[in-house]
Amino acid sequence: MNNSRITLTKSILTVVFLLAGISLSSSVLAFDKEAGKEKAQQVCASCHGMDGIGIIPTYPNLAGQYVDYLTKALKDYRSGVRSNAIMAGFSATLSDEDIRNLAYYYATLKDNRLPVLDLK
């Protein structure tokens, strides 16, 4: 094989592996809103509501929160980085996939997001 053919083969393989990596990472980061809704009904709704609004003022509203924030918060409760006995117990039952789906579900409830107060 000559050098130009080897270079072309390496270039083609690089592109193939890059595309495979992109495809794999997008499937790993995929969200299932319906699965999130179902898990919310089973685990979260009794305190945070299906609409993402806490049932009493001391329970945080989840509606419209960012996916990244909700994901990190749940993983931090699960690992013990964030300390709350109730949330630690609930988050311990959740898989990474459950957490992604829950975060996505609540993030899509933007109509229920609290208005931003412009305090001057």
pLDDT value for 111: 73
pLDDT in tens, 1-37: 577 777 767 777 777 666 665 544 444 568 999 999 9
3-state secondary structure of 37: helix
Which residues make Cβ contacts (< 8 Å) with residue 45, sequence separation at least 6? Answer: none
Work out the mean pLDDT of the chain and round it to a whole number: 85
Q: Which domains does the chain have, with CATH numbers?
A: 33-109 (1.10.760.10)
pLDDT value for 12: 78
pLDDT value for 24: 46
Residue with tokens 């949330």: 87
- Provide mean pLDDT across the span 43-61: 94
pLDDT of residue 49 exceeding 90: yes
pLDDT bucket at 112, cuts 50 / 70 / 90: low
Longest dimension (CA), the chain: 73
More confident residue, 12 or 46: 46
pLDDT value for 14: 74
Range with the poorest average pLDDT among 5-14, 36-45, 93-102: 5-14
pLDDT of residue 108 exceeding 60: yes
pLDDT value for 4: 72
- CB atoms under 10 Å from CB of 112, counted, come to 15
User: For residues 116 and 113, what is the distance between their CA atoms, to the nearest angstrom?
Assistant: 9
